[in-house]
């Protein structure tokens, strides 16, 4: 609600939707806009208001969608339930607070909301960049396997996760770190590259260190001489 209030100061009419935990704040656009610009706008607003954003080491906070500035060939973004859609886990529809709780009034409410234009978004993000804590690091492979005389072996993420399914060029499965925190009910937060499973990434923001810790194989930090 704090974000919703300050969005209204920019003449952005964000719609607050109920959810199982807290709520979802929807912003609608006149035309498709660059994901990076939308993320810059909301991340900067959250940072200015002191609202924590989940991910990059933070297990709690709001989640910002989309979670990616861009997608590579064959990659997929997060699946998002559309407004007034049936939630797969809860098997129910969640209403918006701005209208009577029936489909007709809800749709009428959403249609009359002012949509953000490309010109407005350009003005909102002028001179801004993603805050340092929000910059998603380029995926990097697992640390090199220990030397033969160290007695260790290469960590293999596929040996520590449950059932996987193919989604484009990745396997999708439940993130061990999310599961430990009671999240990832849909079981698809963790993406693992099929052609090189050393590359894996949690779309909810869990770090590689958090995932390794959750499966009981923490990354050991090499001490200096």
User: In this predicted model, what pLDDT tens digit does every residue of 160-202 receive, in sequence order?
Assistant: 998 898 887 888 899 999 988 888 878 888 999 988 898 999 9
8's tokens: 């209204």
Average pLDDT over residues 97-121: 96
Q: What is the C-alpha to C-alpha distance for residues 78 and 100, in angstroms, rounded to an integer?
A: 30
Average pLDDT over residues 136-148: 42
CB distance 104 to 19 below 8 Å = no
Nearest to 13 by CA among 108, 102, 112, 92: 112
- Domain locations in the chain? 2-134, 148-214
CB distance 190 to 183 below 8 Å = no
Q: What is the C-alpha to C-alpha distance for residues 64 and 48, in angstroms, rounded to an integer?
A: 15
- Name residue, tokens 């234009």: 117
Q: What is the C-alpha to C-alpha distance for residues 57 and 205, in angstroms, rounded to an integer?
A: 7
pTM of the full structure: 0.62
Nearest to 26 by CA among 103, 80, 91, 104: 80
Residue 114 to residues 9, 26, 117, 124, 172: CA-CA distances in angstroms?
13, 12, 9, 16, 36
Q: In this predicted structure, what is the pLDDT of residue 59?
A: 62
Judged by DSSP in three states, 193 sits in strand
pLDDT tens across 125-139, in order?
A: 999 998 776 664 334
């Amino acid at each position: 609600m704090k974000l919703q209030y300050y969005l209204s100061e920019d003449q952005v009419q964000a719609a607050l939707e109920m959810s199982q935990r807290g709520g979802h704040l929807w912003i609608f656009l006149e035309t498709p806009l660059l994901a990076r610009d939308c993320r810059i706008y909301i991340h900067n607003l959250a940072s200015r208001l002191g609202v924590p954003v989940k991910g990059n080491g933070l297990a709690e906070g709001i989640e910002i969608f989309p979670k990616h500035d861009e997608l590579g060939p064959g990659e997929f973004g997060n699946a998002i339930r559309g407004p007034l859609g049936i939630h797969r886990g809860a098997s129910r529809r969640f209403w918006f607070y701005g209208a009577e709780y029936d489909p007709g009034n809800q749709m009428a409410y959403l249609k009359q909301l002012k949509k953000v234009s490309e010109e407005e978004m350009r003005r909102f993000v002028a001179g801004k960049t993603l805050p340092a804590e929000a910059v998603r690091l380029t995926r990097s492979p697992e640390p090199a396997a220990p030397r033969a005389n160290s007695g260790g072996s290469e960590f293999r993420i596929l040996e520590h996760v449950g059932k996987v399914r193919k989604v484009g060029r990745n396997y999708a499965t439940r993130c061990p770190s999310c599961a430990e925190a009671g999240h990832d009910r849909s079981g698809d937060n963790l993406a693992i590259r099929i052609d090189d499973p050393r590359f894996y990434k949690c779309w909810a923001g869990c770090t590689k260190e958090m995932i390794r810790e959750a499966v009981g194989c923490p990354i050991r930090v090499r001490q200096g001489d």
